[in-house]
């Protein structure tokens, strides 16, 4: 299947879960990453049970605190 990961089209086998994708993509700080599929936020607890489909667009986001 073809999905878009961080703006790049990539080929993966069918049945790929968000959890597996995070591992395959060597995502930094996987415990703190927010994942969106087609602009919908996926809950961290749902990574293992959320299967990707052809045409999905996945982004990895990190929210940082800070300020003056």
39 vs 16: CA distance, rounded Å? 18
SS3 40: strand
- Specify the pLDDT at position 63: 80
pTM of the model: 0.90
- Specify the pLDDT at position 39: 97
- Specify the pLDDT at position 67: 64
Burial class (CB in 10 A: 0-12, 13-18, 19+), 60: middle
- Specify the pLDDT at position 68: 64
List, for residues 10-66, the tens digit of each pLDDT value. Answer: 999 999 999 999 999 999 899 999 999 999 999 999 999 999 999 999 999 988 777
- Specify the pLDDT at position 57: 98
- Domains annotated on the chain, with CATH: 2-61 (3.10.20.30)
């Amino acid at each position: 299947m073809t999905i878009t990961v961080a703006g790049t089209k990539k080929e993966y086998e069918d049945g790929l879960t968000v959890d597996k994708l995070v591992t395959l993509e060597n995502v930094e700080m996987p415990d703190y990453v927010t994942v969106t599929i087609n602009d919908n936020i996926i809950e961290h607890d749902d990574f293992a049970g959320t299967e990707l489909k052809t045409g999905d667009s996945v982004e990895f986001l990190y929210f940082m605190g800070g300020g003056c």
